[in-house]
Structures are given as structure tokens and as C-alpha cells.
């Protein structure tokens, strides 16, 4: 220890070492000062300085980041819109836009590129996905690869697999009701998540994971954790490299997907499973440069996570809204049971597509609780005009579709669940003018799985309500948080259920 102290003393007494330390301090101070001056300059000058918003946010993104990390950015965006108007500066280089014309411009008219935020969302440095791609040409090529897997004819062929998973759900509920004397209580949030995971695995991976049949599984918790980590790590990407923190990509989920892919590649029975996984593997084998092995992995992980969580949350929210609005619940029951009079009446999607109130319920559910609640962030490559403001090149702009969905001008009684607004005029607004609606985004980057989701939502809700009576469990929290997908903060929603009387 004495030698070390002596060495330090000698070093500190060395003029060259002192000069080096001084230079480092001066550089650090100068760098910090330049950052402060740059923030002040951009805060007070330039086109974005004219955009309203919280005073502090023009200099730092920290207040907005804090709202995102808490899962409350969607609420903050609504509050900002009510206070500041249709365009709000929430960070030095980020504005929220929520007037209908400008949102359409961002997503469709100008078709702005996705922002750099999506690059940080990628779970693999070299494995970009359809969701994270920013390059337009690359995106078009990748989307064409997937188009067959989401065509109407292909989805029709998947219907028996979906119905098989729903039948397993019915068997599970029947057993629970029999065990509990005819009526039971289910956690709809958990059970719909397990069902959606089974459907996704059955249709995309060649076999159901049977989470409904086998009960609670750690995968469900890992899904939720993955979305939360994804939201936080895209804001603070350096966290991915801190050894003691959880990895952005959950190792157990990654291992599960890898094993499925390896098993399929080793199989001699590939033609018997013409699912999404096989479609991607065939593309990879024909042209590895178009789709790498790691990109096959990344795409399958994203489809599994996003495809199951969004559908599960929509089904749960639909039940929650219906049970808290008895007239709407009864109206839907009457419509479904008029079409399917017996508890075991065969269900098929072509028998559900012309049920108007069913569609109104699902549309209204996705208006109040849209899958893309956090907004759709894009980036300007050149100067543009939005909401009568000049937005310079390089600015991130979020099409704040949630604000549009809750806008009283577009939707009278916007915070109420009113399925009838989709069927006829409601308080002066015709049903045909429901254009401020973006549950699946819009334009070239609209959700490729939209029809897949619609089919699953219809089949599940119709199957359940033709066979069971649901009842409200009162005094439950409806508080929402958003981590990539909208969640109930409580992480559960209990529903009473019994066989149809």
C-alpha cells in the first residue's frame, strides 16, 4: 500500500500529469457547457421554439421519459393536448401531433419513416424486423415475403387451429365450473393471454403450447416483462450492457424460440406445416442474404409477443367494458345467440362477419383501448408543415392517435363505451364519419396482422358468449399503464362465468 501511495504522490507531483488532468477537466467542463448552451439555443430558437408545450421539456427529454418509464405517457399526451392544443413539444426534438389532418399526413400522405426509436427497440443488433425497420425499400421487400402468410385465403386455412385452441378454453372453463359447483371466477387477463399464446403458437409455430390446458406458465410473466423492458431500454439503451440488469432479450424466451426453429430445420416433414415459421425458413434457405437466420428468430419472437399480447388485451378490455355496461352486454348476447341458438352451435368466421353489434363492440373497445396506445413515432427527412407549424428535418413526430380516439369533437361522450356510435348517428356525428380511428395504424406501415387479429377476436368472443353467461366482479381497478402494449396496472381482471342458462 505504501508503494501505491508513493507512486500516486509522484504522479501528482509530475507537471505533465498535472497538465493532463487539467486538460481532461477543461474538456469535460467545455463539453458540458456546450451541451447546456446547445439545449438553451434549441429551446429558445428555431421553428420548434414556436410550438407550445411544458417549459422544461424544450430543454430536456427527462420529464417525458419519466412518464414513459412509469407507463403513463399516453395519459400525459392526452393532458398535454387538452392544455396546449393539437401540437405539443414534449422534448427538444420530439413533438406530439393529434389533429386528424396532420396524423393522416404523417402516416399516409407523407408516409414518414419510423424514427430512430425503433432501432433501439431491436432485440438483436443484426436482426431487424418488420416492426423495427426504418428503410422503406427494405421494409417493402420484407413485407412482400410475409404477404402470403397473412392473405385471406391463408388465414381461412388457419381457422381450424384457432377453433381447436378455443375449444380447449371451453373445456377448461367447463371443468372449472363443474369443480366450483356450476359457476366460477376466472382471471380474464391471464386466461385470454394464455389463449392468445396458444393460438399464436398453433398457427405460427406448428403446434399449440397448450398454456390454457396446462395452467399458469412462466412464459406469461416473461411476456409482460419483455414489453416493460422494451419500453425502458429503447429510451435508455445503455442499460442493455449493464451486467446485473435483466437482458433486453429474455434468455428463456430466446432459447424456446431457438429450439423450435432448430427442431423444424431438422424435421423431414416440413411440407406438412405450411405455417409462418416454415415460410420464413424457406425464404432463408433460398436466399440467406434476404432473410438471415437471426432475422428469422427475431421476426418469430416479435410476432409471438406482439400478436398474442395485443389480442389478449383487446379481448379482456371488451369483457370489462361490456360487463360495466349491462345494456350493451345484453344486446351483444341477443345478437350472438340469435345466430348461434345452441351452446354447441358450430362457430366459423364467415358466420360472424355480418354481426353488426359484435363489430361495433370490438371497434369501440379498440377506440377506448387501442393496441398502439403510445402513438406512432416517425421522423422527418426534410422540413414539413404539420398543424400549421414548420417541423425541421430530423425531428421526431408522434402521431398521437390515442388523443384522436378520445377527442370530444370526433367522438361525443368520448370517455364512454358507446358501441351504437358505429351503427348510426350519435349526437350529431354520423357513423360514416368515424375516420379519426387508427387501432392498427395506417398507410404503408399498417399492422400486417390486422385480419388475423380480427378473426381471432370474433371467433373467441362469439364462442364464449354463445356458451357462457358472464358476470361483473365489482370494485376492480381499471387503471391503465402502457409498456409497448396497453395493460391493466393490476395485471388481472376477474370475471364471473357459468354455463349459459
Task: List the binding residues.
Answer: 447
For the CA atoms of 89, 91, 92, 98, the dihedral, rounded to the nearest 10 degrees, stands at: -30
Three cell numbers, residue 378:
416517425
Kindly give, in sequence order, each residue whose CB lies less than 8 Å from that of residue 317, ignoring residues fewer than 6 positions away. 365, 368, 369, 486
Binding annotation for heme: 447
Helix H or strand E encompassing 397: strand 396-399
Distance CA 468, CA 185 (A): 12
Distance CA 13, CA 2 (A): 17
Distance CA 12, CA 18 (A): 6
List the Cα angle 143/277/273 in 5-degree steps. Answer: 125
Nearest to 111 by CA among 450, 380, 373: 380
For the beta sheet containing 184-187, the strands, ordered from the edge strand earlier in sequence to the opposite edge, are: 184-187, 494-499, 468-472
Distance CA 232, CA 226 (A): 10
Kindly give, in sequence order, each residue whose CB lies less than 8 Å from that of residue 493, ignoring residues fewer than 6 positions away. 187, 188, 189, 316, 319, 320, 476
Amino acid at each position: 500500500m505504501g508503494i501505491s501511495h508513493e507512486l500516486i504522490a509522484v504522479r501528482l507531483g509530475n507537471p505533465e500529469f498535472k497538465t493532463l488532468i487539467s486538460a481532461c477537466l477543461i474538456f469535460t467542463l467545455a463539453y458540458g457547457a456546450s451541451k447546456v448552451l446547445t439545449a438553451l439555443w434549441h429551446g429558445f430558437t428555431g421553428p420548434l421554439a414556436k410550438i407550445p408545450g411544458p417549459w422544461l421539456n424544450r430543454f430536456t427529454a427527462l420529464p417525458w421519459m419519466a412518464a414513459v418509464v412509469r407507463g403513463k405517457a399516453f395519459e400525459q399526451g392526452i393532458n398535454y393536448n387538452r392544455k396546449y392544443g393539437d401540437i405539443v413539444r414534449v422534448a427538444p426534438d420530439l413533438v406530439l401531433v393529434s389533429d386528424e389532418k396532420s396524423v393522416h399526413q404523417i402516416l399516409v400522405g407523407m408516409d414518414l419513416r419510423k424514427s430512430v426509436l425503433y432501432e433501439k427497440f431491436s432485440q438483436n443488433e443484426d436482426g431487424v424486423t418488420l416492426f423495427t425497420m426504418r428503410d422503406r425499400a427494405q421494409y417493402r421487400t420484407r413485407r412482400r415475403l410475409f404477404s402470403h402468410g397473412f392473405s385471406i385465403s391463408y388465414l381461412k386455412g388457419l381457422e381450424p387451429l384457432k377453433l381447436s385452441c378455443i375449444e380447449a378454453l371451453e373445456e377448461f372453463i367447463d371443468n372449472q365450473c363443474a369443480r366450483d359447483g356450476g359457476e366460477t371466477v376466472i382471471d380474464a387477463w391471464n386466461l385470454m393471454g394464455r389463449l392468445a399464446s396458444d393460438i399464436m403458437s398453433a398457427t405460427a409455430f406448428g403446434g399449440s403450447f397448450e398454456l390454457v390446458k396446462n395452467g399458469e406458465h412462466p412464459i406469461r410473466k416473461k411476456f409482460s416483462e419483455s414489453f416493460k423492458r422494451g419500453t425502458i431500454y429503447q429510451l435508455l439503451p445503455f442499460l442493455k450492457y449493464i451486467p446485473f440488469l435483466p437482458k433486453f432479450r429474455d434468455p428463456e424466451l430466446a432459447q424456446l424460440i431457438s429450439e423450435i426453429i432448430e427442431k423444424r430445420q431438422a424435421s423431414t416433414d416440413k411440407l406438412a406445416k405450411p405455417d409462418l415459421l416454415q415460410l420464413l425458413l424457406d425464404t432463408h434457405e433460398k436466399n440467406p442474404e434476404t432473410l438471415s437466420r437471426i432475422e428469422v428468430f427475431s421476426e418469430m419472437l416479435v410476432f409471438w409477443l406482439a400478436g398474442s399480447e395485443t389480442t389478449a388485451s383487446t379481448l379482456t378490455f371488451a369483457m370489462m367494458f361490456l360487463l360495466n355496461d349491462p345494456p350493451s352486454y345484453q344486446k351483444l348476447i341477443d345478437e350472438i345467440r340469435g345466430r348461434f341458438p345452441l351452446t354447441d352451435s358450430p362457430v366459423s368466421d364467415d358466420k360472424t362477419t355480418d354481426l353488426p353489434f359484435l363489430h361495433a363492440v370490438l371497434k369501440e373497445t379498440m377506440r377506448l383501448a387501442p393496441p398502439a396506445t403510445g402513438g406512432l413515432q416517425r421522423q422527418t427527412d426534410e422540413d414539413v408543415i404539420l398543424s400549421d407549424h414548420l417541423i425541421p428535418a430530423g425531428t421526431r413526430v408522434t402521431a398521437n392517435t390515442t388523443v384522436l380516439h378520445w377527442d370530444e369533437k370526433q367522438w361525443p361522450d368520448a370517455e364512454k363505451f358507446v358501441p351504437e356510435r358505429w351503427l348510426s348517428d350519435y349526437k350529431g356525428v354520423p357513423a360514416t364519419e368515424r375516420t379519426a380511428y387508427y387501432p392498427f395504424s395506417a398507410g404503408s406501415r399498417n399492422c400486417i396482422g390486422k385480419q388475423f387479429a380480427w378473426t381471432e377476436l370474433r371467433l373467441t368472443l362469439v364462442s364464449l358468449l354463445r356458451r357462457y353467461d358472464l358476470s361483473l366482479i365489482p370494485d376492480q381497478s381499471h387503471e391503465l399503464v402502457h409498456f409497448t402494449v396497453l395493460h391493466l396496472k393490476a395485471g388481472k381482471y376477474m370475471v364471473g362465468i357459468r354455463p349459459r342458462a
